[in-house]
Copies of this chain bind each other. A is one copy, B any other.
Amino acid sequence: MFKLDPNRTISDLALKLVCNAGTDAIIVGGTDGITFKNTRDLLHRVREYGVLCVQEVSEINAVVPGFDGYLIPTVINTKEARWIHGAHVDALRKYGDLIPWDKVLLLGYTVLNPEAKVARLTQAETACTEEQMVAYARLVEHLFCWPVLYIEYSGRFGDMALVDAAQRVCRKSRIFYGGGITTKEQTVAAAELADTVVVGNLIYTHAERAAKTVKWVKETDRKGDQRVKNR
């Protein structure tokens, strides 16, 4: 999947390249500067193409009707309940009647790049061993039974040993990996271990190469048994 930030400028050509690349979905979302207007404008531009387009909701006032689905992030590696479910409960109080639940998917994040804005915002505990990641993954897979564990390094390429560790205990929960993918080698390494690979920044610096990541992911056989994870 590609992640497009409504708060960043993207050329028509770059947008066309990623929307026509054969990706499973375009995710629209970001950490700051997200508004109803810039989200709606980006959705309208993406709608010129046939690709599935979902919104990742980080700001309740920027939720735009008309997306194919809505991704709701929750942060696992934080001590701040606000980022686990506090903001969610506040939003549910206001808008709970209006939510199309059949279009909603929860993403359980581990935020692992301490330099990233999202890590500072959520006060994420970014130091993580394989043992710790296995514990997070078991929480998601077995105890909370959440559909997705999202291993997020936004801004730099992450530790694939952690993705591997998480995947070893997740038979139902899907593993998303995102962060710092710039080369074919990185794309393949992530695709071998994760169920879904998310490419973001590269779209804004090298759109053509970003488009190629779709092909590289599709060519990659995931390591280990080829579990089909349906949710």
Contact = CB atoms under 8 A, between A and B. Distances in A.
A138 interface: yes
Nearest to A80: B81
Interface stretch (A31-39, A84-92, A220-228): A84-92
B146 A89 contact: no
Given A92-B135, A131-B93, A135-B93, A144 B142 contact: no
A6 B102 CA distance: 43
A104 B142 CA distance: 9
A13 interface: no
A79 interface: yes
Interface residues of A, number: 33
Nearest to A99: B142
Chain A interface SS verdict (over half): helix
User: Which 5 pairs, one residue from A and one from B, show the smallest C-beta to C-beta distance?
Assistant: A92-B135, A93-B135, A79-B81, A101-B142, A89-B135
A145 B145 contact: yes
A170 interface: no
Contact of A144 (B78, B135, B146): B146
Contacts of A144: 85, 106, 144, 146
Interface string A132-148: 10111011001111100
Contacts of A79: 80-82, 86
A210 interface: no
B132 A93 contact: yes
A214 interface: no
Nearest to A105: B143
Contacts of A101: 142
B146 A92 contact: no
A161 interface: no
A96 interface: yes
Given A92-B138, A93-B131, A93-B132, 8 more contacts: A79-B86, A85-B143, A89-B139, A92-B143, A93-B134, A93-B135, A96-B134, A144-B144
A76 interface: yes
A139 B85 contact: yes
A154 to B, nearest CB: 21
Nearest to A81: B79
